[in-house]
Structure 1
Amino acid sequence: MQTYESVLARVESGLRSGRWTLGDRLPSERALSEEFGVSRASVREALRVLEAMGIIKRSTGSGPDAGAILIDKPAAGLGSAIRLHVASGAMPVRDVVEMRLLIESWSARSVAMRCAAEQLQQAEVVNESNDVAARGVAGCLDAAFEILEQMEDTDIEIEEFQRLDAQLHVELVSLAGNSLFEATMLGLRKAIEEYVAQGVSREPDWPDLARTLRGEHRAILEALGRGDAAEGAHLVENHIEGFYRRALG
């Protein structure tokens, strides 16, 4: 085991035991070096690894904000690792697509059930209050519909459309409430954006593709909003597979 790996193991042990929690500041390099019985260079290398993994945020200097703070952003490490593996050819784009299908179809079902539960709860409140003005659709997809409305601007630039497209998919996974799926999706985001951009660059009729994607996104959100888990998941799968076949297949 490399010396810096022993430092990583000690930090992991400290996290598991509750010695340090999110938001805490780790001891200084000197303090960790003395406590672990290793060189400051080994501590510094371990901190670089933790920063790349998205576990800490480091600030230089000697003020109150200096040092390493535990933040735990798993997508940071996942994103860089996935991008490198896709670029090297070790992780084919098709594998990224299949991972999306697994995560996003499950997420669609979960979001649909959440929306159905919110609508049922809202209906009970309306019935109890007999307030006609209070009737409406549950707000579970408000943020997603706001993103879609921006995408439906016919004057939108292609790059902005693609950014919002990725943001919409991340939002739906986030709504499902599984933190590991959300982190994985955030990690996949750059790889997804890159293969989508590649596909769009090959598309001879961008306006037609944009209309298709807008329609598919709206159909997905409406199905989820109705609480139709099976239809929502089916539409998500067709949407992801359809773009892959059209643009990259």
Structure 2
Amino acid sequence: MTVEEGQVQRIGATEAVFRRLKSLIQSGEYAVGDRLPAELALAKQFGVSRPVVREALHACATLGLTETQTGRGTFVISKKESPRLTFAGVDASDLIEARRLIEIPTAGYAAERRTPDQLRHLFELLAKLAAAADVHDWVRYDGELHTAIAAASGNKMLTTLVADTRRALDPQSEFLNLTQDRRSDSDHEHEAIVRAIEARSPEQARSAMADHLARVAETIARIGD
């Protein structure tokens, strides 16, 4: 049975391959120091496309399980996940702390100060997120939505700070959506934030953003389980 015939009906193809590779590494079937089969061979083994395998291998590398060496291939470097995930050199826990300090109050200001045009733009971005067929497009719209919420706050410094975090947030968002199937939940959480901004309720907007960030943090905490 291929991965697609088994798990992919319940979870995404990349997540299914990622889980299988992680299991093979942690069980010792692929030992530390071993070179993994080439992408094409893994794609045939799991019954998926090469891009799916490539994304799964990238996720394994993010966890510190593998390392790809140019011209040599991908090697197993550890059976245990790294205890601290980093994205673009930023620790995931540091990123969450910073987002809580910046984005929660920013959402409240957006509810108080947003203009009709800004609100319309937020709903347009929600629609783009819902319609995105490619995870990379989804990640781009995710970044645009959070930046647009900050712009609606009317505070240029907060807008700059939120935009600057995307250097690390974009790879984190991609990782979570590829390996943890976060997209649907994120879409619902984003809509709750925008609805609160529409209602001009700072308290609800802050609460909705806090809930979104808490769920992201919980997902990251579960990865090593």
Query: Structure 1-normalised TM-score?
Result: 0.51
Matches within 5 A, 1:115-126: 115=114
Instruction: Report the Cα distance in structure 2 between the residues aligned to 1:227 and 1:86, rounded to whole angstroms.
Output: 34
Does structure 2 conserve the Cα–Cα contact (< 8 Å) formed by 1:223 and 1:231? yes
Partner residue, 1:97: 96
The partner residue of 2:178 within 201, 215, 222 is 201
Does structure 1 conserve the Cα–Cα contact (< 8 Å) formed by 2:177 and 2:183? no
Does structure 1 conserve the Cα–Cα contact (< 8 Å) formed by 2:87 and 2:168? yes
Instruction: Report the Cα distance in structure 2 between the residues aligned to 1:94 and 1:215, rounded to whole angstroms.
Output: 23
Partner residue, 1:216: 189
Instruction: Report the Cα distance in structure 2 between the residues aligned to 1:183 and 1:222, rounded to whole angstroms.
Output: 23
Instruction: Report the Cα distance in structure 1 between the residues aligned to 2:185 and 2:87, rounded to whole angstroms.
Output: 27
Instruction: Report the Cα distance in structure 2 between the residues aligned to 1:174 and 1:226, rounded to whole angstroms.
Output: 17
Q: CA deviation at 1:87?
A: 4.4
The partner residue of 1:190 within 167, 171, 174 is 167
The partner residue of 2:145 within 160, 168, 186 is 168
Does structure 2 conserve the Cα–Cα contact (< 8 Å) formed by 1:200 and 1:247? no
Instruction: Report the Cα distance in structure 2 between the residues aligned to 1:244 and 1:157, rounded to whole angstroms.
Output: 24
Opposite residue 156 of structure 2, the aligned amino acid is S
Instruction: Report the Cα distance in structure 1 between the residues aligned to 2:119 and 2:100, rounded to whole angstroms.
Output: 20
Same amino acid, percent of matched pairs: 20
Instruction: Report the Cα distance in structure 2 between the residues aligned to 1:94 and 1:197, rounded to whole angstroms.
Output: 17
Instruction: Report the Cα distance in structure 2 between the residues aligned to 1:168 and 1:220, rounded to whole angstroms.
Output: 10
Partner residue, 2:127: 149
Q: 1:242 to 1:152 in 2, by over 3 A?
A: same
Does structure 2 conserve the Cα–Cα contact (< 8 Å) formed by 1:103 and 1:173? no
Q: CA deviation at 1:201?
A: 2.9
Partner residue, 1:234: 207
Q: CA deviation at 1:109?
A: 0.9
Matches within 5 A, 1:11-50: none
The CA RMSD over aligned residues, in Å, is: 2.0
Instruction: Report the Cα distance in structure 1 between the residues aligned to 2:192 and 2:178, rounded to whole angstroms.
Output: 25
Aligned length: 137
Q: CA deviation at 1:246?
A: 1.5
For 1:177-218, what per-residue CA distance to the aligned partner results, in whole angstroms no more than 9, with x for missing partners? 222221122211110111222222321xx3xx3221111111
Instruction: Report the Cα distance in structure 2 between the residues aligned to 1:225 and 1:87, rounded to whole angstroms.
Output: 33
